[in-house]
Structure 1
Amino acid sequence: MAIIQLGDYIVIQRQKYTKLQKFGSLDATATLGKEHLELKSLLDQPYGSTFKMCVKESKAGKRGAQRQHSLELCTENELRSIRDVLNISSSGADNRDISDNGEAQSLKSSDIEQMREECNESSKIIEKLVENSKTFHNRTEYSQDKYLLKKEKKYFEFVQIRQPTIRLMADIFHRQDPDKIMGIRVDTLSQIISYSGISGFGNYLLYESGTNGLLPAAMLNSMGAGTEATLVHMHPGNVPQKQALLALKLPFEQQQRCISVNLYSVLREFYQGDKPEATKSSGDEEKVEAVTETEVTAEEQSEGFEPSSKKVKLESPNSNKAHQRWQVENKRAAALMNEKFDSLVMAAKEHPSSILQALLPLVKPSRPVVIFGTCKELLQEIYMDLKTTGKVTNLHLTSNWMRTYQILPNRTHPEVNMSGNSGYLLTGYTLK
């Protein structure tokens, strides 16, 4: 069973809300709305444990009352449903005689707030709200459930600590800020992995210009631990985005099989690295320079990367160790580029044409190519170019659309709010 340790990334779940948080020290805290949680009691507890939020103090802030909580490990007996705790047995036939005039609750807001300060158990607070509601027992059972869920969401005092997974992180990133992961939804991510043919053997090539490390993490996770597969992760900036990779806490051996390199510098290493000056051709230089402008644009657009001018700065001036590290990674990647790859995956914020032209010759024949984009017109251009040149066959341009359903007895229906689009995929197979 996995145990929570210092330095881990954890997922804090309160009912349906989830948040990715780093447990960096014993003084670490997390914020859930107006609730501030001390995390020190999580140390050495198993993932999946549920903790009770115990109020330590409350103070007024700019956004209302802010409550400081310690976390206390709780048992299954404390997690019974509100309806079971309150022992509600009666309900109305319909809601036609109930009017929403704001007078149904006899308790004032000040009374509720005082009760919340004195009592930390959501069941007791909701019990008082039900007792002082003039209309609760006249509501239908379904209406009562909605009322209880709404109040439980507000006063719920339990959090569960979960271990980060690809699906959890994809959902969290997409809900918080879809632009930081190029709007890649979990269903689109699963199709990218499926079309790419990732397995525990072979060498795979990925170019992405900023997904918080979600794409390389998903591909590396699909390769598995203790395998022979290797991923070359090309990016446009000085430093790759790796939050999702770090959050997965993969074995060191598995992490080492992800080689993260700057696109422009690794192409220069591949075409010119080991050649004597006299044998370097102008054609090699042109191949590298062809993606320079695109690479600079991508770096400036990517979240978390340092801005650059026409030349890419590859290391800080005071870091000889960093200088040596990227050179070693470039040589490792260039060696695999000579062997060629078993698939190519691209997720580019910029126009992918010139980058695709540079990377496509590095893929073996009859291997999958997957290109993700947020703009279908750009992928339509790529589609026509590949059709014309005949370098890729079985081309398909698709758009993903997923509907989330509420599944409840006698009331199953699509969710009212859902994301309309999660980008476009262009897929095909290389030809010799």
Structure 2
Amino acid sequence: MAVIQLGDYIVIQRQKYTKLQKFGSLDATATLGKEHLELKSLLDQPYDSTFKMCVKESKAGKRGAQRQHSLELCSENELRSIRDVLNISSSGADNRDISDNGEAQALKSSDIEQMREACNESSKIIEKLVENSKTFHTRTEYSQDKYLLKKEKKYFEFVQIRQPTIRLMVDIFHRQDADKIMGIRVDTLSQIISYSGISGFGSYLLYESGTNGLLPAAMLNSMGAATDSTLVHMHPGNVPQKQAVLALKLPLEQQQRCISVNLYSVLREFYQGDKLETVEVTEESVKTEDNAIEQSEDIEPSSKKFKLDESRNLSKGPPRWQLENKRAATLMNDKFDSLVMAAKEHPSSILQALLPLIKPSRPIVIFSTCKELLQETYMELKATGKVTNLHLTSNWMRTYQILPNRTHPEVNMSGNSGYLLTGYTLK
């Protein structure tokens, strides 16, 4: 059974709300609205455990009362339905005589806050609210359930700690800031993985220009742990985004199967690596910036800026990014079993550079938030005849609320989650 360790990424769930958090130290805290949680009691506890939020202190802040909580491990028996706890049996036939004028609740807001300070149990607070409501027992059973759920959401004192998964992370990222993952929704991500044909064997090529590490994490997860497959992850910057990969806590061997390289640097290595001259770096050779850019081993791959460390021992060997470039270039010579692209920029020129690296009869998948860019790419591929079975698609997903006697589509849902251009390479 997996247990929570220092350095882990965890998912804190309070009812339907989820948050990704790093448990970096025993002093780590998490914020859920106005609630501040101390995380030290999570150490060595099993994932999926439920904890009760115990109030330690309250203080006034800029946004109202802020409550400090410690977490106490509790059993599943404490998580009973609020209707069962309150033993509510009576309800009205309809709500026609109920007037929403704000006078139904006899308790004032100050009384409720004092009660909340004195007692942190949601069931007891809601029981008092029900007792002092003039209209609760005349509402329909459905209306009562909505009222109880609304109050329970506000006063719920339990959180569950879950282990991060691809599904959980894509939901969290999409809800918090969809732009950080290029608006990729869970249904679109599943389509990308399915069309790419990724498995535990072969080598795969990915180019993405910023998805918080979601795409490489999803592809590594699909490759599995005990496999002989490799992923070359190309990106436009100096440092790859890897939060989602780190959050999965994959075995080290599986993480090392992902080779993250700068797109332009690795292409330069692939086409010019054997032709580059080896020049010894001396004090005289680094006097000018131009010479340094050509000869220093510490050049940043994409920015063309160089760093000079006078104390550096040249016998230590090349930097890590250079070794990764060589590993990737070797795989590029052998060619890949599929290509996945998620580009914020126009994918055409990058696709032209990467398409020759893909074996014949292999899938390509290109994601973009702009259909016009993919339409242009579609026509270019049609003209070249290098890719067949081309399809340009858009996903549309509708989520439903499934409850007894009240199943219906959710009122608010995301509209578009980008576009996919798929096809198969020809020899």
Identify if the C-alpha distance between structure 1 residues 188 and 226 changes in structure 2 by more than 3 Å, giving closer, same or farther.
same
Residues 391 and 251 (structure 1 numbering): CA distance in 2 closer, same or farther, change over 3 Å? same
Q: TM-score, normalised by structure 2?
A: 0.92
Alpha-carbon distance change, 308 to 338 in structure 1, aligned in 2, over 3 angstroms: closer
State the Cα distance separating 1:50 from its structure 2 match.
0.2
- Tell me by how many angstroms 1:290 deviates: 33
Bigger drift between 308-317 and 217-226 goes to: 308-317
Structure 1 unmatched runs, 5+: 278-285
Work out whether residues 91 and 137 of structure 1, in 8 Å CA contact, stay in contact via their aligned partners in 2. yes
CA distance change for structure 1 residues 116 and 226 in 2, over 3 Å: closer, same or farther? same
CA distances 1:238-274 after superposition (whole Å, capped 9, x unpaired): 0000000000000000000000000000000000102
State the TM-score, normalizing by the size of structure 1: 0.91
Q: Residue deviations 1:13-44, cap 9 Å, x none?
A: 00000000000000000000000000000000
In structure 2, how many angstroms separate the alpha carbons of the residues matched to 1:349 and 1:319? 38
The residue number in structure 2 matching 1:385 is: 380
Give the alignment of 1:3-82 within 5 angstroms: 3-82=3-82
Describe the SS at the equivalent of 1:194. helix
**Change beyond 3 A, Cα 1:175–1:320:** farther
Distance in 1 separating the partners of 2:412 and 2:244: 26
Q: How does 1:81-96 map to 2 (within 5 A)?
A: 81-96=81-96
- CA 1:316–1:215: 2 relative to 1, 3 Å: farther
Instruction: Note the residue ranges of structure 2 that are not aligned, 5 or more in a row.
Output: none
In the alignment, the residues of structure 2 paired with residue 399 and residue 316 of structure 1 have an alpha-carbon distance, to the nearest angstrom, of 55
User: Is 2:291 the counterpart of 1:297?
Assistant: yes
- State the distance in 2 between where 1:305 and 1:123 align: 62
Distance 1:83 1:264, change over 3 A: same
Aligned residues of 2:388 and 2:424 also touching (Cα < 8 A): yes
RMSD in angstroms over aligned alpha carbons? 5.6
Cα pair distance change 1:208/1:376, threshold 3 Å: same
* Secondary structure class of the residue paired with 1:288: coil
Distance 1:253 1:199, change over 3 A: same
In percent, how many aligned pairs have the same letter? 90
Q: Deviations over 1:105-163 (max 9, x none)?
A: 00000000000000010000000000000000000000000000000000000000000
Describe the SS at the equivalent of 1:250.
coil
- Shift of the alpha carbon at 1:275? 2.6
Secondary structure at the aligned position of 1:345 is classed as strand
3-state DSSP class of the match of 2:68? strand
**Range with greater deviation from structure 2 (303-312 or 215-224):** 303-312
Is contact 1:209–1:302 with CA below 8 Å preserved after alignment?
no
Q: Secondary structure at the match of 1:229?
A: strand
Secondary structure of the residue aligned to 1:177 is helix
CA contact (8 A) 2:206 2:339 kept: yes
What is the SS of the residue equivalent to 2:228?
coil
Alpha carbons of structure 1 residues 218 and 329: separation in structure 2 relative to 1, 3 Å: same
Cα distance in 2 for partners of 1:303, 1:68 equals: 50
Indicate if the aligned counterparts of 1:182 and 1:374 stay in contact, CA closer than 8 A: yes
* 1:37-78 residue CA offsets vs partner (Å, 9 max, x unmatched): 000000000000000000000000000000000000001221
Alignment of 1:315-354 (within 5 A): 324-354=319-349
How far the C-alpha of 1:373 sits from its partner, in A, is 0.2
| Higher mean C-alpha displacement, 293-302 vs 197-206 | 293-302
> Does structure 2 conserve the Cα–Cα contact (< 8 Å) formed by 1:205 and 1:232?
yes
Distance 1:69 1:298, change over 3 A: farther
Change (3 A) 1:309 1:269: closer
How far apart, in 2, do the equivalents of 1:334 and 1:402 lie? Answer: 39
Q: 1:309 to 1:3 in 2, by over 3 A?
A: closer
For the 8 Å contact 2:56–2:67, the answer to whether it is kept is yes
Structure 1 range deviating more: 318-327 or 329-338: 318-327
Cα 1:33/1:294, change in 2 over 3 Å = farther
Query: Contact between 1:28 and 1:38, CA under 8 Å: does it hold in 2?
Result: yes
Contact 1:105–1:134, Cα closer than 8 Å, also in 2: yes
SS of 1:148's equivalent in the other structure is helix
Residues 283-321 of structure 1 deviation map (CA, whole Å, 9 limit, x = unaligned): xxx999999999999999999999976779999999998
Q: CA 1:335–1:7 in structure 2 vs 1: closer, same or farther (change >3 Å)?
A: same
Residue 167 of structure 1: how far off its partner (Å): 0.3
Instruction: Tell me if structure 2 keeps the 8 A contact 1:209–1:299.
Output: no
Query: Relative to 1, partners in 2 of residues 1:127 and 1:298: Cα closer, same or farther, differing over 3 Å?
Result: farther
Shift in CA distance, 375/43, structure 1 to aligned 2, threshold 3 Å: same
Indicate how the Cα distance of structure 1 residues 387 and 402 shifts in structure 2: closer, same or farther if over 3 A, else same.
same
Q: Equivalents in 1 of 2:337, 2:139: separation in Å? A: 61
* Cα distance change, pair 317–297 in 1 and its aligned pair in 2 (3 A): closer
Contact 1:205/1:343 (8 A) holds in 2: yes
- Aligned ranges 1:248-287 → 2 under 5 Å: 248-275=248-275
Separation (CA, whole Å) in 2 of partners of 1:303 and 1:181:
33
> Alignment partner of 2:183: what SS?
coil
Q: Distance in 2 between matches of 1:310 and 1:288?
A: 20
User: Is the Cα contact below 8 Å between 1:196 and 1:343 reproduced in 2?
Assistant: yes
- Residue 113 (structure 1) aligns with: 113
Structure 1 contact 210–303 (Cα < 8 Å) conserved: no
Superposed CA deviations along residues 211-236 of structure 1, whole A, max 9, x for unmatched, are 00000000000000010000000000
Change (3 A) 1:259 1:52: same
Please tell me whether the aligned partners of residues 294 and 351 of structure 1 are also in contact (alpha carbons under 8 angstroms): no
Question: Structure 1 residues 288, 273: closer, same or farther in 2, change over 3 A?
Answer: farther
Q: C-alpha deviations, 1:63-114, integer Å up to 9, x for none?
A: 0000000000001221001000000000000000000000000000000000
Count residues in correspondence.
Answer: 424
How far apart are the structure 2 equivalents of 1:382 and 1:291? 45
Q: Are the counterparts in 2 of residues 47 and 163 from structure 1 also a CA contact under 8 Å?
A: yes
Q: Is the 8 A contact 2:296 2:306 kept in 1?
A: no
CA contact (8 A) 2:262 2:301 kept: no
> 1:318–1:55: structure 2 CA closer, same or farther, 3 Å change rule?
farther
Provide closer, same or farther for how the CA distance between residues 319 and 50 of structure 1 changes in structure 2, counting only shifts above 3 A: farther
